[in-house]
Structure 1
Amino acid sequence: MAERLRLDWLLELGRQRDWSNFERELALVNRGDDLQVRCYALLARAMRGERVAPEARGLLVNPPAYGEACAALMAQLAQTGQLSQEELLAQLRLAGEMGATGPSRRIALLLGASDTRAAQAVDVPAVAMARGIGTTRAEREIYLVALGRMARTSLRLASVALNKNSDKLTAEERAIGWANVALAASITLSPEAHDYWQRAEGAPLTNFQREWKTRMALRRGDWRTVAATIESMPTPLRDESGWVYWLGRAHVAQGRREEGEALFRRVATQNNFYGQLAMEELGELVTIPRPPRRPPRPKSMRSQRCRPCARP
């Protein structure tokens, strides 16, 4: 409880921009996983002129959780040139993909675009699409967000609209549009998903898109695409046991057994589903974990039985 109170106090100090007290209290925190506290910590350093963009990029991956802290950090980095326009556009795509209306509005303003139109792209995509693709890069990105949101409801309408406006978009923008449509098709396991992913070749993908592209390639047995897409994932995602296992399977399927077995050994010791699959690939038996060396003492068992239940 004391830790939670300290985190709440840190959020208040951050909102007040009281950086001296914020950093003093921050040094006393044991748990450093609160996203907004971490954003305020980077904001404090950024306002002293430090370059914190590399660390910020690792944090700014979940727009619905940004709150005031991460929004302020992004604004500061944009104003000082530590975040490029391309990075802000990527943030706008991410916010749209996750249905985060508030962050979409704030990022649109940082790009000099209409926050109302950005909100419409997320919440009422048909209205945003009816207004056309716009003229600036940010306006076209908002249109592509609306296209992806529309595809969640109607793949046909989204694909028709993208084909109709294809000549008004750059090659990269067209690829981004097809990636948005492909994601919606993949979530519903639509048979058209493979064709859409092919059209999306060269698009900068979000982590969610990479995961779904990989799943659809797995369904087709397309091991080359499975390997390429997993290897394109950022390290924290690529190191998850499931993707390590499937990358190993992709290597084995393509005749690179030694590389595949090296990956299986990385996860075979983990006591989870993919760890067991990796053990099977290595020819090892899946066994019940060993019992503790020393059984619990009767005294400790009695103390647990006697412990009263917590009252609501």
Structure 2
Amino acid sequence: MIRGNAYLVPEMQAFFNDYPNSPLTPLLRAHWLSQLGQNQNWKTFEAQFHPVDAHQPALQCYHWQALFADAQTDFFDAAVAYWRSDASWPDSCDPVFRQLVAAHRLRADDLWRALRHALSRNQLRKARYINSFFPPFQGLNEDDLNLATGRPRQFLDDASPTDTHSTRAQRELMLYATLRLAAHDPQAAATWWTDASAHLGPEDQAWGWQQIALQGALNLNPQSLEWFQQVTPQPTDAEWLIWKTRVALRQQDWATVLDTLAHLPATLAQKPVWQYWKARALEGEYRSAEALALLERVSQSPSYYGLLALEERGQELRLSPPPAQPDPEIQKETRTLLERPLRLYRLGLLSEAQREWNQIEPALTPLQHLAAAQQAFQLGWYDRSIHSADRTDLPKDITLLFPYPYQSQIQASASQYHLSEAWILA
């Protein structure tokens, strides 16, 4: 793509024009633009950059670099919003972020918020990167970070939450060490936090209890629900509500189950899994008529929870009827569309085959999705078969969603060792 210092614009444009629908075209284009950005050939980069390229963070950040090189700063608001989002930060964004800090558009609170978020997800590399933006002696001490990561109990034993002169860095490390301890011993973390949090602000108190509650839920600790209730105000993000619901279900606290499900986003709350558990919670609260009506609705769903709802209502379990099959013409069309990925799969080039499949799949109709799933199934390409079968809005084909590729071997082993075939599968 690069010959000396001459960028092959005509050659690249000719390829893009000749092969506009090739799955290789967007990959080649992105790689070419990345090289232009790396070499800071901003004039050529900007001439070739299109709005559609902005969905790739690396290219978007090169675009912002090009604007700044042209003394433009209108993009600052968008770049700050990107910093605050939960997105990946490619290397091309580093000069942009440092410009934002120098211009005082990224402030200390932005840095601390991002740092806390990274530490809460154990993204140490990202946390150290964010830490590099602080002036000397104002960010996290590297030795203290290592101690909080590897020996959180020792770090907390040495910490002093009652120190009114503690720095933001010390408080963040204390919160992080509490999270690390909670991952292994949530009970010990809760005991320590009960005393320590009294000396912190409401936001820090809530954040600490939130992490302890989530870790307790993961560890199936029976006190988890009590820790969830300590968080004030209660978070509204879906992940938090789902984990709180799971804990309440384990303890059969039906009132809490109903309360948390009522705050789920509508798209999640309508899923069969949560409709089913809402019905069970209504039943637990002696609201039988509402529970039965909801179970009736869930039982129509061609899903695992649809079967559970049928069982709960004492009805015979039944699988969904198979979907209408694609006619030969649709099978032929789909085979033509997928010729390249199917051929690559036969050659053993799995990553290339999947990349090309993913490029083609969004444009398929529901029947073409089903035909694609069948063709992948016949090849033994089961992950694509399952994926495509699930993408169609037609009635689900159980044989495609739950393939049984080793049936003969399992049956032979079950017979040899006098085991239940269903037990082996489970």
Give the TM-score range, shorter chain: 0.5 to 0.7
Q: Which moved more, 1:208-217 or 1:140-149?
A: 208-217
Alignment of 1:279-294 (within 5 A): 287-294=320-327
- Residues 1:311 and 1:160: Cα distance change in structure 2 (over 3 Å): closer
Give, in whole Å, the separation in 1 of the partners of 2:229 and 2:327. 57
Q: Contact 2:261–2:269 at 8 Å: present in 1 too?
A: no
Other-structure match for 1:167: 198
Does residue 201 of the first structure (1) align with residue 232 of the second (2)? yes
* One of 44, 61, 74 as aligned partner of 1:49: 74
Give, in whole Å, the separation in 2 of the partners of 1:3 and 1:119. 42
Give 3-state SS (helix, strand or coil) of 1:52's partner: helix
Larger Rg: 2
Give 3-state SS (helix, strand or coil) of 2:128's partner: helix
Shift of 1:176: 1.1
- Residues 1:48 and 1:223: Cα distance change in structure 2 (over 3 Å): farther
Give, in whole Å, the separation in 2 of the partners of 1:100 and 1:287. 43
Q: Contact 2:80–2:106 at 8 Å: present in 1 too?
A: no
- Residues 1:199 and 1:77: Cα distance change in structure 2 (over 3 Å): farther
Does residue 137 of the first structure (1) align with residue 163 of the second (2)? no
Instruction: Output the aligned Cα RMSD.
Output: 4.8
Other-structure match for 1:186: 217
Other-structure match for 1:92: 115
AA aligned to 1:61 is: D
- Residues 1:96 and 1:70: Cα distance change in structure 2 (over 3 Å): farther
Give 3-state SS (helix, strand or coil) of 2:183's partner: helix
Other-structure match for 1:125: 152
Give, in whole Å, the separation in 1 of the partners of 2:95 and 2:277. 43
Give, in whole Å, the separation in 2 of the partners of 1:101 and 1:36. 21
Alignment of 1:99-114 (within 5 A): 99-110=122-133, 112-114=138-140
Is there any run of 5+ residues in structure 2 with no aligned partner, and where?
1-23, 350-426
Shift of 1:89: 3.5
- Residues 1:93 and 1:223: Cα distance change in structure 2 (over 3 Å): farther
Shift of 1:287: 2.0
Give, in whole Å, the separation in 1 of the partners of 2:41 and 2:308. 51
Other-structure match for 2:347: 310
- Residues 1:42 and 1:293: Cα distance change in structure 2 (over 3 Å): same
AA aligned to 2:224 is: A
Give, in whole Å, the separation in 2 of the partners of 1:118 and 1:290. 56
Q: What TM-score do you get using the length of structure 1 for normalisation?
A: 0.68
Is there any run of 5+ residues in structure 1 with no aligned partner, and where?
none
Give 3-state SS (helix, strand or coil) of 2:139's partner: coil
Does residue 27 of the first structure (1) align with residue 53 of the second (2)? no
Other-structure match for 2:85: 60
% identical aligned pairs: 24
How many equivalent residue pairs? 298
- Residues 1:25 and 1:217: Cα distance change in structure 2 (over 3 Å): farther
Q: Contact 1:106–1:115 at 8 Å: present in 2 too?
A: no
Other-structure match for 1:176: 207
Q: Which moved more, 1:97-106 or 1:200-209?
A: 200-209
For residues 66-118 of structure 1, give each alpha carbon's deviation from its aligned partner in whole angstroms, at most 9, with x where no partner exists: 34245555555555565565554442232112211121123334464225144
- Residues 1:307 and 1:169: Cα distance change in structure 2 (over 3 Å): closer
Q: Contact 2:80–2:100 at 8 Å: present in 1 too?
A: no
For residues 104-140 of structure 1, give each alpha carbon's deviation from its aligned partner in whole angstroms, at most 9, with x where no partner exists: 1233344642251445544553454355257123431
Q: What TM-score do you get using the length of structure 2 for normalisation?
A: 0.53
- Residues 1:176 and 1:28: Cα distance change in structure 2 (over 3 Å): closer
Give, in whole Å, the separation in 1 of the partners of 2:109 and 2:259. 23
Structure with more relative contact order (C-alpha pairs < 8 Å, separation 6 or more): 1
Does residue 7 of the first structure (1) align with residue 30 of the second (2)? yes
Shift of 1:27: 1.8
AA aligned to 1:246 is: W
Does residue 246 of the first structure (1) align with residue 242 of the second (2)? no
